[in-house]
Structure formats: structure tokens, C-alpha cells
Amino acid sequence: MAGSLAASAFFPGPGSSPAVSARSSKNTTGELPENLSIRGIVAKPNPPPGAMQVKAQAQALPKVNGTKVNLKTTSPDKEDIIPYSAPKTFYNQLPDWSMLLAAVTTIFLAAEKQWTLLDWKPKKPDMLADTFGFGRIIQDGLVFRQNFLIRSYEIGADRTASVETLMNHLQETALNHVKTAGLLGDGFGATPEMSKRNLIWVVSKIQLLVERYPSWGDMVQVDTWVAAAGKNGMRRDWHVRDYNSGQTILRATSVWVMMNKSTRRLSKMPDEVRAEIGPYFNGRSAITEEQGEKLAKPGTTFDGDATKQFTRKGLTPKWSDLDVNQHVNNVKYIGWILESAPISILEKHELASMTLDYRKECGRDSVLQSLTTVSGECVDGTTESAIQCDHLLQLESGADIVKAHTEWRPKRAQGEGNMGFFPAESA
């Protein structure tokens, strides 16, 4: 029985098929063994899912003694289905190449769209050196240049950048200048020799002239450099321009002195520190007409001019107002000074110039008051003339912190300088 089964599996006779031979191999009970396939070969009882179904007719006709044998069964309208699974090869296990190509194409198209929207490409060749706005040293190492984009949260009610925003740009370029030159120690702009002696920089005086205010989306270019200021001071100047047009936005100059971080007393400049910063001194000045006379206290009248005085009390610094030197940042003082300025000036005028004279540092627990004296405004309320103000920021105990003098001009209408979207009257 077994011999006939094997012979019929490999050498089927005429008029018979592997299926017929397999059916003839039933056991004595009349049932076909489950472990035999249609060809009589041991097969797996459960074919894997997704296996290909191969029709018996698709097989090539076997030959017996050179004669083709017809494998059709006795029932022509029924076709036996043979389970077939493709062999697992490396090529068959690869993903569908068409889907992979479509995914890669989609990713590249999305990336190209975002690249186009960014539009970072520089309009000038030298912009390539400062693509990400980190700044660079130019003019034989004596000038540091950095670009800033005016953000939406840096503009005010008239859609132009505030003076505090511009002052923050000045401070940022000053620190980055020291860092790029390799002179940054472990302090806030202090050099390595200053850090060894526990010295820090403190500002003594700042003067700035504003010609126009940039708007949201404008790119400003800030140049800064340093020079000597007497025996124990250093002068730092800035020149801010519009990156696209080259027009001047702001010019500023400042004087810095050294203070001991522990004793909080002013200190002379050591020779080692002078040797560090001396090679970077530049004799050029951003403002030639510097404010030389002493600033007057609010309430002082000159030549009988009519004045009005305004006061704002109860000003206290927040934790976020302190810098790493544990005192109030010098830019914060500007906001406090303008707290006491009348709202009519802020609405219809813009700051044209400011001079600040820093007298004493302000700590976390200080309570201050701001005083402003307005002069130059016409008695009938006309706002077409320039206005001058004297400011004083002092502790409630009476010690002076900052004295300032500001000059204001009427806001320009649309198209007369500031690139706003509406006239100044509707600010």
C-alpha cells in the first residue's frame, strides 16, 4: 500500500492525477490522512495567512515516458485550490517602494514650502556671516555688529518699538561684544581680570538721540564700540540703523565705572584690566553734542517758564527686575521715570532724546517715587510744540537714584518717518 502510494505520487499513471492518487491513499477507515498534501507530501496542517492560492491547472503538465499527461479531474467545473506561501527572502521583506517614494516626496515638498516661507536668504552678501543674528566683529576688530528683528511683543500702542526695547538691544550687543572678543569672565560683562578682583561694571551716564522708531517686522542693525573715559572709566557708544534702508534710528553713548561686588563701592581700574580692554578702544564718538551740564531736579524753573509737576509713588522692584549683579537693571529705570509723565504727552508725543545720570543703585527691597516736571507746553493746550521734562527717581527716604532729562516731539503722521499703519492722532 505504501509502495503504491509513493509510486503514484511521483509517477502518476494515465488518467490519474496527484489528487486522485492522494484520495486513493485513504486508510482502512476510509479517511484521508491529515498530514498528506494533494501530492502526497507531508504538509503543514494550517497554511500561513495571506498565502497565495495557486490553481492546480497553472502547473506544467508532467511527462511520463515522453508523453504529456492530462491532470484534469473527473469534475471539470470544480478546481482544487492548493495553498502556497512565497519563500521569505530579503527582497520580499522590503517595504512597498511606491509607498516609500511617496512618503519621501511628501516630506521634501513640505520642507521646501517651509523653506520658502522662512525667506531667510540675505539681501546683502555680508549677511551670510550673521545668519542667525549672533553678531560679529568688523572694522579690524574694533566694532561689533548685530542684527535684531522687531517682534510683535516689543511694540507699543502706536505699533512702533518702545524705547525700552531699543535699550535692551544696546545692552545685548554690549555683552555679546565682550563675549565674542573672548573677554567674558564669570560676571555680567566682566573680564577675567575683573572677575579675579570681584569687580563689576555699573553705568554712570547714558545719553541717547532717537531719530525714528522701527515698526513690527523691521530689521535693525546695531554697531557698538568702546573707548577710554578718563582714568577709571570706559565709554561705550552705539549706532543703530535700519538694516534695509541704512537710515539712522538711534545714537547713544554711555560711561561705565567699576564697583566692588562685595563692598558695593566704586573702584579704580586696575592696570591688568586696562591691558585687557585697551586694544579694543576706538576714538570714534556716536554723539558729538554730549549733554555736559548738570541735570536739574524737578520743580526747578528757568527764565520764568511755566512748569507742571507730576508724581508717582509706591514703585517697588519685582524679582524679574534684578540682574545677575543683584540690583535693578538700568533699563528698568526708564520705565519708572516715564511712570510719572502725563498720559497726554505719551499719547501725542514721542521721545526724541534722553539723558540719564545714575546716582545710586536700587535693590530688591527699595520703595521709590517718580517725579516729573513738564515745561515748554503751551498754556492753551496745543501739542504742536516740543516738550522738555526733568525727572527724578528717588527712594521714599529721600536718596536720589536717577536724574533724567527728556525731550519730546509731536508724533509723526503716517508716512512721515515711522512706518506705522495709522496716524499718530489715533494712537
Handedness of CA 62, 64, 65, 67 (dihedral sign): negative
- Residue of 113 and 108 predicted with greater confidence: 108
164 in Cβ contact with 157 (< 8 Å): no
Quote the pLDDT of residue 291.
61
Domain ranges of the chain: 128-296, 300-412
- Residue of 305 and 51 predicted with greater confidence: 305
The answer, yes or no, to whether residue 20 has pLDDT greater than 80, is: no
Quote the pLDDT of residue 364.
85
Quote the pLDDT of residue 405.
95
- Residue of 352 and 300 predicted with greater confidence: 352
Q: How many residues does the chain have?
A: 427
- Residue of 60 and 103 predicted with greater confidence: 103
The answer, yes or no, to whether residue 370 has pLDDT greater than 60, is: yes
Give the C-alpha distances (Å, rounded to integers) separating 385 from 287, 302, 388, 408, 411.
24, 18, 10, 9, 11
Indicate if 300-412 has the same CATH topology as 128-296. Answer: yes
Three-class secondary structure assignment of 142-177: CEEEEEEECCHHHECCCCEECHHHHHHHHHHHHHHH
What lies within 8 Å, CB to CB, of 81 at 6+ separation is 53, 54, 55, 56
The answer, yes or no, to whether residue 184 has pLDDT greater than 70, is: yes
Task: Calculate the average pLDDT of the chain.
Answer: 76
| 325 labelled catalytic | yes
Q: Among residues 147, 176, 325, 329, which one is catalytic?
A: 325
Chain segment 337-358, per-residue pLDDT in tens = 998 999 989 999 999 999 999 9
Q: Among residues 169, 177, 327, 349, which one is catalytic?
A: 327
Task: State the pTM of this model.
Answer: 0.65
Q: Among residues 362, 389, 391, 405, which one is catalytic?
A: 362
d(CA 147, CA 138): 13
d(CA 285, CA 228): 11
φ, ψ of residue 257 to 5 degrees: the values are -130, 170
3-state secondary structure of 397: coil
d(CA 369, CA 313): 4
| CATH annotation of 300-412 | 3.10.129.10
Cell numbers placing 391: 525727572
d(CA 237, CA 227): 8
360, exposed or middle or buried, with CB in 10 Å at 0-12, 13-18, 19+?
middle
| CATH annotation of 128-296 | 3.10.129.10
| 244 labelled catalytic | no
d(CA 174, CA 97): 55
Q: Which of 215, 245, 241, 214 is nearest to 123 (CA)?
A: 245
| 27 labelled catalytic | no
Q: How many helices (H) and strands (E) does the chain have?
A: 8, 16
